[in-house]
């Protein structure tokens, strides 16, 4: 089940996903998705006829080598030369955290900032909330921990220029070109490789930013130049400046990486463009992203949600909770009525970035979460043992018991078959740590203590799932739970039961879900524009205001359509329109989808009706207060175009029983003898009855007593829990 | 709580925290008040039936005890208020428990069967609740009845039905009824969320379990803070701060605390504070409790869940009728930014003096942050032709106090909210008739010390899109440096505020005529030609500025944090000079402080504890002595070490630090008689030196 590719010299391995071995023929073509994670680079490949496979190679410091290693491993395993493989690739989707790591480790390009006179400290002041950015809820109350990240660009690389535009877009102070030229010279002198130009109200009137960019091109011919009204045309200079600065800082790094990767694949014969997953969940060719690398910062997590949506479409499900339990975090994506939950702002390395993105809810709870007892209270997390030293059972010096140690003691993990046998676990050490540090202080026996750790962990995760559904006006019972990642499928049963769900699904590509999403997601791009429609109670916006909104909307629709066409959209383009609406005076707005063409009084009414309905769903009946009036602050257009996608049909094997072991389900005093199955990919309709643990390469699916696991035609495993009285 | 399994306890505890967070999100998402959405001046929490809070969100900590007062008020008169299922009560009376009338609170009982098992409570600062002046802050008020409306307690939701007539009565009194109406609906939604979620928990686990968990959460936090206190040295720690101008006269008011720590408990004695003022700067006893709560949560419970248990470890002593225990009908409209803020300043200072004497905590001891919140309110008709009222939140952006081991945060803000925020300039200009000429860091505002205080921000703004409006401008701390430094450091700069009449022309700076303001110029008309300029306080520093690393000082020059003149005067470092030159200059400066060449002495004996960075308590020959870093013996048998230091009047030397002093204030520096190292700088009344601030219990 685990195949080491000794011949190619790199220690990769592959996991065959559920599906049959394909028919080798001259016409064979491939759809490929890759995702670069912190530890492994995943590659998912389908030949369109059936077999979908997952390959994993270690992520390399330069990132690109790891990707090319995975390509070589895939080619070799498929019995092809790299060239023969690359030439047959019809689609190559890619997700990467190169940019994110560069920002977090401060290895991005030396970046300068041009700001309006009087506002050069904007990044450092950071709305005074920069100081708490990146802190967990357990850390914010400790002022000694504040200010973890410095401003994204240090003050000595910021220059102020004399100019001013007001909120209506009127130029009050013309750009002082002589002074601006001198400022640019100083930055050139300081050796900046990238420049972010962000002046006040440039999104309302970009004339000064445009001129500054022209001037900068002269003075800094080799620098990567960004203007804020293009990168983040939002109201709010801090977020706009931080986003532009992050984008600038990434340009030389991420842009160079993507073009090198694309070139390398082309050199091997690939004829299609490299498609990169964006934060917003659509893939785009690198040519559309070269000037805005920040749009790919979170491509990995976004791809995971997109992979889930592809899966959901195939299963005919509209509402999905897609979960991933890693070593240090539990991540949840929500797809409601077929639409991934989106946000327009996130924070990286202390900077607020105002970019449309798929929203991933996350808590610092995972396999590495440390259990401890203080003052007689048992807590699990938020401290994590991470991978170094890691759980006690890893034998790398970890002393404090973790959730993984509890799973081992409870029989859920097989000490001899962890990560496909790549690591042997020390059950005795785990038991000892739980005994001395948890069980004895609490006066419990060891198994009960281990079960307690697990219950607390599962409940914390269920709390997060409640938060992302109930809090947003959704009923969790209408959702399908997808369990991804290494530990997800072993915890899903108890989380599902805690939420009252009837079961869960383990996707065929559960251990490489982001790569699957990169290989199967649609082309997509999102553009937004700041507008300002302010309406008092009982009034309607004027024709002039509506006209301005319509013009802005049509402008971004053209941009979206243009990019999709340039990206090679095949077939129909779908445009979705959203308006950010709030009651007059509020700070936060809700994204309200609306249909129709243009923007007129009728559409305005539809938007307001949609807002009031969404508001009541979120905050309860009677929470709305239309007497306050309304404001529309932003319009957004999201365009998607389907790409020909690989469909996989499953054949596969019947799960084989490999003995049994006692496993704790519910009652710590009565472990249940549980059959262990091994399978690479289960054949359609193959069934396993609980209590059972189905061990796949890289993950274990726990099927509790009374539950039934059944494989579908795509190789997904559906686990149905016993109905509770 | 009986025999609760630790596992079930932890599961339900987490759920209650998640519910509290859900309440916060509901309120903050729905609210239309910038005080809520940005400054997080609001409260959400779950309470025991007796009014003790079991959970709270990460909000303005002064508000922690407030809603509990309303619940206790209802409990005290059950026949009057007749709480029942589906009821919600509203109140805002500072003589019942609010900090000031702007703090509108609501609470609703949560029932299991016919028994109240908990309360859900919310509160938010509302910009205007009526009264003689906009924003309900009236510098001319002499009586609380001239300020915003007061509701001791009324039932707004009766068995699930909103009493529209009562709501109308409330909204009618406000100049901003839409904003208030939206917020009251947010309150209702928030309490509904809590009731609904707790109902589900009760259905699943039973009421006994839920009430038991809430009780244990409070006991758990109390035990943790008591354990921390037990680990700290016993003694009495004093701090004094001032606020100037009561709205009528520029008189100086003192708020003074003597904090005694014995074993695992604290006593805060405020008896040394001034009598109540004739103007709106007072606070009631609930304000005093709020200010102390704010300091304790941030400084002693930074890693302990915030609930009533933290506050149980302390007692507050103060007689009635002080500026911090004002009696009816004293006006208290500006209590939060005046008396309460200063109460918090002295409580923070006293607690950090205690931390600075503990080996395990000294590194995180912190000087006072952002010692005031200056007010800029604006009212009139906005650029959209609507009546408007604005309470600018930017003044939160003062500097943080330095820590013993690192500089304070520039624009770090006060310690009374863990997650503060101010709006973008663009948002302010879009929704309000404002036009900024600058928003930037103020140089030389952070207190000069070995660790520098964070800089305060400064803004210059005029009107945008309208030609005139009425402004209310007031603060304390224009003539009082409120951000006390620690152990030889300077406090941060005082607030400077001025109007440049005719200082703007078409969005650009024009010459105009500058009028510098004192602390409370009050109400005035301003036009779109006038420029309002204000610089907020920087944070206090930590340790003698002559001990600051020269490299750090030069970085301060490069970043603009400190001007080249101030680095010479305060830090003894020139911009481009070698190490020897700096060392020579610093030695000369130390010599000048004490009138002789610096020296040092050998001290034997065992160090028993440290007092801040430069003083030690040494046991020698059966006696205890406070000894300086240079070996000077400053006091024996007690830690009132100031008796052995050389004192210098610094009142005339405050310019480099941008400090203006009230005519009744003096500043005194205390120096090591051998080395000239600065050991303390006190701000005090002109008629004498203050009492020693650290009096440790010696074995």
- pLDDT score for B615: 98
- pLDDT over 70 for what percent of chain A? 94
CA angle B366, B372, B376 (to 5 degrees): 145
- pLDDT score for A650: 59
Average of per-residue pLDDT values in chain B: 95
Please state, as a whole number, how many other Cβ atoms lie within 10 Å of the Cβ of residue A428: 12
Query: What is the rounded distance in angstroms from the CA atom of residue A173 to the CA atom of residue A166?
Result: 9
Contact by Cβ (8 Å): A581, A630: yes
Which residues of chain B are within 8 Å of residue A586 when distances are taken between CB atoms? 30-32, 37, 182
Q: Which two tokens stand for residue A119?
A: 């506002």
**What is the residue-wise DSSP string for A67-123?**
HHHHHHHHHHHTT--HHHHHHTEEEEEEE--HHHHHHHHT-S--EEEEEETT-TTHH
CA angle A154, A155, A159 (to 5 degrees): 120
Query: What is the rounded distance in angstroms from the CA atom of residue B412 to the CA atom of residue B417?
Result: 11
Average of per-residue pLDDT values in chain A: 89
Contact by Cβ (8 Å): A147, A139: no
pLDDT at A9 over 50: no
- pLDDT score for A22: 42
pLDDT confidence band for B425 (50 / 70 / 90): very high
pLDDT confidence band for A25 (50 / 70 / 90): low
Place of tokens 């997080």: B40
Contact by Cβ (8 Å): B391, B404: no
- H or E segment at A441? helix A440-442
Side-chain half-sphere CA neighbours of A393 within 13 A: 27
Name the β-bridge partners of A423: A418
- pLDDT score for A253: 84
- pLDDT score for A51: 62
In chain B the first and final C-alpha atoms are separated, in Å, by: 39
Which residues of chain A are within 8 Å of residue B445 when distances are taken between CB atoms? none
Query: What is the rounded distance in angstroms from the CA atom of residue A688 to the CA atom of residue A676?
Result: 10
In this prediction, residues B389-417 reach a mean pLDDT of 96
- Cβ of A456 within 8 Å of Cβ of B410? The answer is no
**For chains A and B, what is the number of CB pairs under 8 angstroms?**
226
In this prediction, residues B113-139 reach a mean pLDDT of 93
pLDDT at A13 over 60: no
- pLDDT score for A20: 36
- Hey, CA dihedral for A168, A169, A170, A173, is it positive or negative? positive
pLDDT at B531 over 50: yes
Query: What is the rounded distance in angstroms from the CA atom of residue B687 to the CA atom of residue B689?
Result: 7
Q: Which two tokens stand for residue B244?
A: 């100037």
In this prediction, residues A265-289 reach a mean pLDDT of 93
pLDDT at B2 over 80: no
Please state, as a whole number, how many other Cβ atoms lie within 10 Å of the Cβ of residue A27: 10
pLDDT at A10 over 50: no
pLDDT at A6 over 50: no
Please state, as a whole number, how many other Cβ atoms lie within 10 Å of the Cβ of residue B583: 12
Residue of B nearest to A128 (CA): B421
R_g of chain A, CA atoms, integer Å: 27
- Cβ of B427 within 8 Å of Cβ of A235? The answer is yes
Q: Which two tokens stand for residue B477?
A: 């701390």
Q: Look at residues B193, B178, B28, B180 and name the one whose alpha carbon lies nearest to residue B104.
A: B180
> CB neighbours of A564 closer than 8 A, spacing ≥ 6?
A523, A525, A573, A639, A640, A641
pLDDT at B405 over 90: yes
In this prediction, residues A368-382 reach a mean pLDDT of 93
pLDDT in tens, B189-242: 899 989 999 999 999 999 999 999 999 999 999 999 999 999 999 999 999 999
pLDDT in tens, B498-530: 999 999 999 999 999 999 999 999 999 999 999
DSSP-based three-state secondary structure for A589: coil
Which residues of chain B are within 8 Å of residue A451 when distances are taken between CB atoms? 7
pLDDT in tens, B125-137: 998 999 998 889 8
Q: Look at residues B676, B404, B371, B400 and name the one whose alpha carbon lies nearest to residue B542.
A: B404
ipTM, two decimals: 0.96
- pLDDT over 90 for what percent of chain B? 90
pLDDT at B26 over 90: no
pLDDT confidence band for A616 (50 / 70 / 90): confident
pLDDT at A17 over 90: no
Question: Which of B18, B203, B457, B540 would best serve as a mutation to test chain A binding (most A beta carbons within 10 A)?
Answer: B18
A128 vs B7, B32, B397: nearest CB: B397
Instruction: Please give the model's pTM, rounded to 2 decimal places.
Output: 0.94
In this prediction, residues B35-61 reach a mean pLDDT of 89
Give Cα A531 distance to the centre of its chain. 28
Q: Which two tokens stand for residue A41?
A: 């680079």
pLDDT at A637 over 90: yes
In this prediction, residues A547-573 reach a mean pLDDT of 90
Contact by Cβ (8 Å): A595, A577: yes
DSSP-based three-state secondary structure for A398: coil
- pLDDT score for A19: 38
- Cβ of B559 within 8 Å of Cβ of A156? The answer is yes
Q: Kindly compute the dihedral angle of the four CA atoms of residues A320, A410, A419, A480, in this order, to the nearest 10 degrees.
A: -10
Assess A443–B contact: CB distance below 8 Å, yes or no: no
- Hey, CA dihedral for B492, B497, B498, B503, is it positive or negative? positive
In this prediction, residues A86-111 reach a mean pLDDT of 87
Residue of A nearest to B300 (CA): A142
Check whether the bond before A389 is cis (ω within 30° of 0).
Answer: yes
- Cβ of A584 within 8 Å of Cβ of B178? The answer is yes
- pLDDT score for A23: 42
pLDDT in tens, A396-424: 999 999 999 999 999 999 888 776 667 78
Contact by Cβ (8 Å): B506, B350: no
| Least confident interval from A582-596, B52-66, B250-264 | A582-596
Q: What is the nearest CA distance from B332 to chain A, expressed in angstroms?
A: 27
- Cβ of A378 within 8 Å of Cβ of B464? The answer is no
DSSP-based three-state secondary structure for B105: strand
Question: Which of A161, A378, A585 would best serve as a mutation to test chain B binding (most B beta carbons within 10 A)?
Answer: A585
Query: What is the rounded distance in angstroms from the CA atom of residue A433 to the CA atom of residue A90?
Result: 52
In this prediction, residues A570-585 reach a mean pLDDT of 89
The residue with greater pLDDT, A623 or B249, is B249
Place of tokens 């190559």: A92
- pLDDT score for B698: 93
Query: What is the rounded distance in angstroms from the CA atom of residue A623 to the CA atom of residue B22?
Result: 15
């Amino acid at each position: 089940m685990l195949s080491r590719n000794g011949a190619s010299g790199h220690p990769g391995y592959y996991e065959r996903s559920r599906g049959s071995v394909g028919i080798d023929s001259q016409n064979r073509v491939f759809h490929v998705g890759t995702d670069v994670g912190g530890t492994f680079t995943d590659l998912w490949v389908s030949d369109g006829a059936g077999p979908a496979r997952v390959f994993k190679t270690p992520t390399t410091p330069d990132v690109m080598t790891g990707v090319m290693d995975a390509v070589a491993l895939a080619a070799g395993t498929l019995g092809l030369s790299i060239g023969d493989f690359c030439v047959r690739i019809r689609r190559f989707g890619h997700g990467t955290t190169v940019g994110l790591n560069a920002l977090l480790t401060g290895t991005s390009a030396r970046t300068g900032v041009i700001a309006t006179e009087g506002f050069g400290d904007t990044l450092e002041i950071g709305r005074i909330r920069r100081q708490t950015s990146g802190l967990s809820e357990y850390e914010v109350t400790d002022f000694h921990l504040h200010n973890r990240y410095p401003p994204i660009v240090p003050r000595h690389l910021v220059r102020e220029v004399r100019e001013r535009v007001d909120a209506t877009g009127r130029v009050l102070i013309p750009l002082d070109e002589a002074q601006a030229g001198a400022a640019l010279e100083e930055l050139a002198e300081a050796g900046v490789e990238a420049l972010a130009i962000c002046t006040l109200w440039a999104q309302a009137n970009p004339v000064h930013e445009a001129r500054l960019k022209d001037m900068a091109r002269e003075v800094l011919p080799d620098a990567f130049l960004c203007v804020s009204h293009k990168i983040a045309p939002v109201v709010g200079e801090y977020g706009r400046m931080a986003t532009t600065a992050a984008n600038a800082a990434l340009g030389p790094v991420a842009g160079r990486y993507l073009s090198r990767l694309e070139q390398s694949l082309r050199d091997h014969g690939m004829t299609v463009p490299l498609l990169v997953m964006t934060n917003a969940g659509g893939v785009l060719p690198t040519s559309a992203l070269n000037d805005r690398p920040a749009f790919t910062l979170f491509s990995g997590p976004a791809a995971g949600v997109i992979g889930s949506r592809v899966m959901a479409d195939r299963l005919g499900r509209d509402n999905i909770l897609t979960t991933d339990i890693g070593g240090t975090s539990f991540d949840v994506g929500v797809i409601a009525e077929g639409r991934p939950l989106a946000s327009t702002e996130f924070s990286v390395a202390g900077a607020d970035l105002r970019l449309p993105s798929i929203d991933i809810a996350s808590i610092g709870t995972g396999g590495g979460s440390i259990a401890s007892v203080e003052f007689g209270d048992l807590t699990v997390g938020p401290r994590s043992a991470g991978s170094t030293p890691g759980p006690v059972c890893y034998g790398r010096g970890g002393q404090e018991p973790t959730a993984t140690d509890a799973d081992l003691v409870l029989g859920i993990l097989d000490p001899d078959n962890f990560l496909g046998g790549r690591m042997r676990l020390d059950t005795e050490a785990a038991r000892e740590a739980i005994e001395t540090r948890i069980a004895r202080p609490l006066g419990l026996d060891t198994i009960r203590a281990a079960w307690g750790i697990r219950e607390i962990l599962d409940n914390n995760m269920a709390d997060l799932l409640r938060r992302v559904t109930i809090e947003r006006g959704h009923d969790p019972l209408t959702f399908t739970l997808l369990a991804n990642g290494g530990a997800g499928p072993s915890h899903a049963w108890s989380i599902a039961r805690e939420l009252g769900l009837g079961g869960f699904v383990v996707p065929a590509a559960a251990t490489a879900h982001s790569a699957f999403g990169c290989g199967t997601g649609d082309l997509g791009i999102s553009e937004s524009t700041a507008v300002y429609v302010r309406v008092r109670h009982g009034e309607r916006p004027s024709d002039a205001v509506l006209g301005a909104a319509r013009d802005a909307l049509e402008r971004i629709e053209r941009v979206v359509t243009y990019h999709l066409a340039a990206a090679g959209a095949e077939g129909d383009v779908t445009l979705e329109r959203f308006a950010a609406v709030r009651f007059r005076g509020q700070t936060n707005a809700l994204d309200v989808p609306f249909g129709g063409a243009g923007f007129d009084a009728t559409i305005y009414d539809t938007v307001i009706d949609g807002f009031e309905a969404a508001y009541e769903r979120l905050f309860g009946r009677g929470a709305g207060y239309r007497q306050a009036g309304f404001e529309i602050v932003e319009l957004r257009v999201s365009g998607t175009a389907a790409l020909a996608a690989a469909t996989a049909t499953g054949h596969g094997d019947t799960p084989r029983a490999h003995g049994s072991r006692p496993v704790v389900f519910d009652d710590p005093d009565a472990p249940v003898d549980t059959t262990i199955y091994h399978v690479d990919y289960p054949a359609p309709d193959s069934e396993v009855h609980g209590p059972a643990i189905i061990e796949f390469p890289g993950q274990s699916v726990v099927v509790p007593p009374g539950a039934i696991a059944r494989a579908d035609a795509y190789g997904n495993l559906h686990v149905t829990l016993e109905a509770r009285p | 709580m009986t025999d609760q399994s630790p596992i079930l306890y932890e599961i339900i505890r987490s759920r209650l925290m998640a519910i509290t967070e859900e309440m916060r999100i509901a309120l903050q998402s729905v609210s239309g008040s910038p005080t809520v959405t940005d400054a997080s001046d609001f409260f959400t929490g779950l309470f025991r039936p007796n009014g003790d809070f079991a959970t709270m969100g990460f909000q303005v900590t002064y508000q922690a005890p407030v809603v509990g007062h309303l619940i206790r008020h209802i409990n005290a008169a059950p026949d009057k208020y007749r709480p029942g299922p589906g009821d919600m009560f509203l109140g805002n009376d500072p003589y019942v428990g609010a900090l000031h009338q702007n703090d509108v609170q609501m609470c609703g009982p949560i029932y299991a069967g016919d028994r109240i098992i908990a309360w859900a409570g919310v509160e938010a600062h509302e910009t205007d609740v009526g009264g003689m002046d906009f924003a309900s802050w009236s510098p001319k008020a002499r009586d609380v009845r001239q300020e915003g409306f007061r509701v001791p307690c009324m039932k707004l939701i009766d068995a699930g039905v909103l009493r529209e007539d009562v709501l109308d009565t409330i909204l009618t009194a406000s100049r901003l009824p839409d904003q208030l109406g939206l917020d009251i609906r947010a309150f209702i939604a928030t309490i509904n969320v809590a009731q609904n979620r707790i109902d589900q928990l009760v259905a699943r686990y039973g009421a006994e379990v839920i009430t038991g968990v809430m009780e244990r959460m409070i006991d758990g936090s109390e035990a943790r803070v008591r354990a921390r206190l037990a680990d700290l040295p016993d003694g009495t720690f004093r701090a004094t701060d001032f606020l100037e101008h009561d709205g009528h006269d520029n008189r100086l008011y003192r708020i003074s605390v003597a904090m005694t720590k014995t074993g695992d408990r604290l006593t805060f004695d405020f008896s040394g504070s001034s009598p109540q003022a004739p103007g709106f700067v007072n606070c009631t006893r609930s304000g005093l409790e709020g200010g102390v709560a704010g300091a304790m949560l941030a400084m002693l419970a930074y890693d302990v869940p915030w609930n009533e248990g933290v506050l149980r470890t302390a007692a507050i002593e103060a007689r009635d009728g002080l500026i911090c225990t004002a009696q009816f009908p004293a006006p208290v409209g500006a209590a939060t930014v005046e008396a309460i803020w200063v109460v918090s300043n002295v409580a923070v200072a006293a607690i950090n003096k205690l931390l600075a004497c503990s080996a395990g905590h000294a590194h995180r001891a912190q000087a006072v942050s952002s010692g005031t919140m200056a007010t800029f309110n604006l009212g009139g008709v906005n650029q959209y032709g609507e009546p408007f009222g604005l309470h600018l939140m930017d003044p939160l952006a003062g500097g943080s106090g330095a820590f013993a081991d690192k500089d304070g945060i520039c624009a770090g803000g006060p310690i009374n909210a863990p997650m503060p925020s101010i709006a973008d300039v663009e948002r302010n200009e879009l929704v309000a008739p404002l036009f900024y000429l600058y928003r930037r860091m103020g140089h030389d505002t952070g207190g000069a010390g070995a660790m520098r205080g964070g800089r305060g921000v400064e803004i210059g703004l005029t009107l945008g899109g309208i030609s005139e409006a009425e402004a209310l401008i007031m603060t304390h701390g224009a003539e009082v440096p409120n951000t006390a430094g620690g152990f030889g450091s300077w406090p941060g700069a005082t607030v400077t505020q001025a109007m440049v009449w005719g200082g703007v022309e078409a969005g650009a700076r024009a010459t105009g005529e500058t009028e510098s303001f004192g602390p409370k110029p009050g109400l005035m008309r301003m036009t779109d030609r006038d420029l309002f300029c204000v610089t907020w306080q920087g944070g206090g520093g930590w340790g003698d500025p002559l001990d600051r690393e020269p490299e750090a000082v030069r970085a301060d020059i490069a970043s603009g944090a400190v001007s080249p003149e101030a680095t010479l005067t305060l830090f003894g470092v020139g911009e481009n000079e070698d190490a020897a030159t700096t060392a020579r200059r610093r030695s000369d400066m130390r010599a000048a402080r004490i009138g002789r060449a610096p020296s040092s002495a050998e001290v034997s004996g065992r160090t028993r504890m440290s007092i801040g960075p430069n003083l030690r308590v040494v046991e020698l020959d059966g006696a205890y002595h406070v000894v300086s870093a240079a070996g000077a013996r400053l006091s024996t048998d007690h830690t009132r070490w100031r008796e052995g230091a050389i004192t210098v009047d610094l009142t005339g030397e405050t310019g480099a630090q941008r400090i203006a002093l009230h005519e009744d204030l003096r500043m005194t520096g205390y120096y090591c008689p051998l080395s000239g190292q600065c050991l303390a700088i006190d701000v005090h009344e002109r008629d004498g030196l203050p009492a020693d601030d650290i009096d440790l219990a010696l074995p």
